[in-house]
Structure 1
Amino acid sequence: MQPQRTPSAEPGPQPGPQLEPEPVVFGAGALDQLLDAIRRRGFRLVGPVLKDGAICYDDIGSAADLPAGWTDEQAPGTYRLRRRDDGALFGYAVGPHSWKKYLFPPAARLLPPEPPPDEPFAFIGVRACELNAIAIQDRVFLGGRHPDPQYAGRRDGAFIVAVNCGQPGGTCFCASMGAGPRVTSGFDIALTELLTAGDAGHRFLAEAGTARGAEVLREVEVLPAGEADIGAARAVSEHAAASMGRVMPELDLRDLLTRNYDHPRWDDVAARCLSCANCTMVCPTCFCFSVEDTSGLSSGDPAGAPERHRSWDSCFTLDHSYLHGGPVRVSARSRYRQWLTHKLATWADQFGTPGCVGCGRCITWCPAGIDITEEVAAIAADS
């Protein structure tokens, strides 16, 4: 029996009921009208920018801050920016950042609790794989009996402008994980960037996913989408689905991995793995963290109030499995096996879906170029 591979997009604080109104189109020059309409509603705009030799997420003020005419080339252990021959604003795959850094920040004070941001976030340019990753983290932090107040305060009311992916990277495999490339739910507005010659030129097809998304679009100079526009948008997603750089084997991943704990491939990958934790740091769904308490004495200020801080951690660190005097997973073999088996198999036991959305970041940003689709295929070939 095949496991459910498509992450169920059921974010905790949904932006509102999903709508299915008629799509509209607007010229690329009107994108600032969209951003201004969102900002007027009190949102903090965050989107893709060129920074530190990569396409990262940061605060933006207008469409001029977006990476116009840039794309990325990705392969195992390789990431490079290069110029496009057009002015596409979202003509790249994904960079080292995920939206996790805003909803579940790398470091936060738990006690006394930090207040939520003054302005709710508006995420601009969220891909389908990333929407599914947000839905997974919603389930982790908000789905149990004890919702995480830090996460809830940052997630509450977030406005999401999704973008249907038109150019997957060389390490992407979201299509085989059922997580893309086309967005289906969890967004306020979904855009498809269309680049054609002639009078139509550079434009966006926009679909409202919620009532507030439709309200924003009413403040943009739009035209009803014609059949040619709808067909062009469909072609963008179809081309992306057919252009994935990687494919996850179509197998019962849980059964495969849980009955191969002693497979020799784990030794092979351990000989290459540096246990650097890059894969978990760039992963949009990993949620491991450590907690540290400090007091006035430890801070050097006897009068200082005690504090509790949380920071990202990784199952690749030796102390992550520390129990009763020592770590449980002392070898790189056991730590990599734990990560991959949890991500693709036992995660579903906890949360109902795999913990992987096929974004390919773990492959791109692994300095040893370890490819999880390749590792799964190697285990499957001997099983």
Structure 2
Amino acid sequence: MQPGSDARHEPPTVIDALALQDLFDALHGRGYTVVGPTVRDGAIVLDELTSAADLPHGWGVDSEAGRYRLRPRDDNAAFAHSAGPQSWKKVLHPARARMWSADRSTGTVVTEPEEPQRYALLGVRPCDLAAIGVLDRVLTGGRHVDPIYAGRRDGNLIIAVECTEPGATCFCTSMGTGPHAESGFDLALTELVDDAGHRFLVRAATPVGAEVLGAVPGHVADDATVRKAEGAVAAAATRMGRELRTEGLPEMLAASRESPHWDDVASRCLTCGNCTMVCPTCFCTTTEDVTDLTGEHAERWRRWDSCYDLDFTYLHGGSVRTSGQSRYRQWISHKLGTWHEQFGSSGCVGCGRCIAWCPTGIDITQEAAALFSLQEAFPSPETPDREDRT
């Protein structure tokens, strides 16, 4: 994928809602496995889709801190919902992956790469585009490339969908990640449902995106439709349910290491790790070895891990972070603060998943605001040295 190619200079296209099936046919015909949103178990989740009928037509979402509910809509919009419990790391950085298997009887150890599969990621929100960009930097941007992530990421086709109806826990405008899709995609859709009908404005950003779009019936967008789509996205930017103050945030968190507010958070935090599981940029893993009952066959698996796990910082003799206070402080300080030092950006994209899926309703935007208020009321004499931040 090469965002920024000449395909960006092509005029946008309008396709109607029925043409979504033609889009599916074009993707399947080119060998892509289509993954996108669908309704299952009372939520909008990501799964392999066989047709446009699998999309969550007519469903919206009501969310708040510690709350997520589906609600029926008055229209048949396919993408008028905010972030669900799963992000695209489910596809690109799976929760469990086998690293190798071994058999005692044959004395062989086999590293089994996954069967090559070309994914078309359909319905990627701008905040999740940014999250994929973060994972790219973390897992493929250094000397040690993650082969599992790289294998699933290579050859992807990304179809973004711009947000026109943000959720109550969304704050992507604060993080500069939405609701407009600027880069990182092959095709970008803006869904419009009004008196003129149900249709999509589609922008191609790469040659492969333009090729796929060329196989879908549509017509060049008129100025009125372009303005309508741009206006819908611009209006969404003014209706975010949350806001996060980002100026001076890493410095504030570093200076707040001994803030009494961490005790308040710890009194509410269950250290369950839900926030790290639903976060689209949390990438930590651990390994586990398993055998069959005979002991003749063994496998090593990689699985997601969380900094809220007591054993996450286990060293010989015990864990480094034994309190819930220290574990929450580590998570938010890394996500919003020291991530800048490691990877050159924030680790938060403003999707709001951690707020909605926290069982006690802890809100990262409110906790940051509380820490800012305490620091301004009781300023620290100096920021601690980097090596003291543990």
Q: TM-score normalized by structure 1?
A: 0.93
Shift of residue 155, structure 1, vs aligned partner: 0.6
Match of 1:301 among 272, 294, 297: 294
Distance 1:184 1:348 in 2: 21
Classify 1:117/1:171 alpha carbon distance in 2 versus 1 (closer, same or farther; 3 Å): farther
The answer to whether the Cα contact below 8 Å between 2:186 and 2:209 also exists between their aligned partners in 1 is yes
Partner of 2:59: 70
**Partner SS, residue 272 of structure 1:** coil
Shift of residue 19, structure 1, vs aligned partner: 3.2
Q: Does 1:110 align with 2:99?
A: yes
Classify 1:138/1:268 alpha carbon distance in 2 versus 1 (closer, same or farther; 3 Å): same
**Partner SS, residue 244 of structure 1:** coil
Distance 2:119 2:362 in 1: 34
How many residues matched?
365
Distance 1:58 1:119 in 2: 15
Q: Which amino acid counterpart does residue 166 of structure 2 have in structure 1?
A: P
Distance 2:345 2:112 in 1: 31
Partner of 2:155: 157
Partner of 1:356: 348
RMSD: 1.3
**Partner SS, residue 236 of structure 2:** helix
Shift of residue 195, structure 1, vs aligned partner: 1.0
Match of 2:121 among 100, 120, 123: 123
Match of 1:327 among 314, 319, 326: 319
Partner of 1:26: 15
Distance 1:14 1:57 in 2: 25
Q: Does 1:233 align with 2:226?
A: no
Distance 1:319 1:39 in 2: 43
Q: Does 1:245 align with 2:241?
A: yes
Instruction: List aligned pairs for 1:189-204, cutoff 5 A.
Output: 189-197=187-195, 200-204=196-200
**Partner SS, residue 190 of structure 2:** strand
Distance 2:134 2:113 in 1: 24
Q: Which amino acid counterpart does residue 164 of structure 1 have in structure 2?
A: E
Partner of 1:10: none
Distance 1:113 1:106 in 2: 18
**Unmatched 5+ stretches in structure 1:** 1-12
Comparing 104-113 with 66-75, greater Cα deviation is found at 104-113
Distance 1:314 1:113 in 2: 26
The answer to whether the Cα contact below 8 Å between 1:108 and 1:114 also exists between their aligned partners in 2 is no
Partner of 2:382: none
Distance 1:354 1:114 in 2: 34
Distance 2:7 2:349 in 1: 24
Match of 2:34 among 21, 37, 45: 45
Distance 1:18 1:173 in 2: 31
Distance 2:87 2:45 in 1: 8
Query: Matched residues, percent identical?
Result: 54
Shift of residue 61, structure 1, vs aligned partner: 1.2
Comparing 229-238 with 267-276, greater Cα deviation is found at 229-238
Q: TM-score normalized by structure 2?
A: 0.91
The answer to whether the Cα contact below 8 Å between 1:18 and 1:186 also exists between their aligned partners in 2 is no
Shift of residue 252, structure 1, vs aligned partner: 1.1
The answer to whether the Cα contact below 8 Å between 1:46 and 1:123 also exists between their aligned partners in 2 is yes
Partner of 1:7: none
Partner of 2:365: 373
Partner of 2:339: 347
The answer to whether the Cα contact below 8 Å between 1:290 and 1:310 also exists between their aligned partners in 2 is yes
Partner of 1:3: none
The answer to whether the Cα contact below 8 Å between 2:3 and 2:183 also exists between their aligned partners in 1 is no
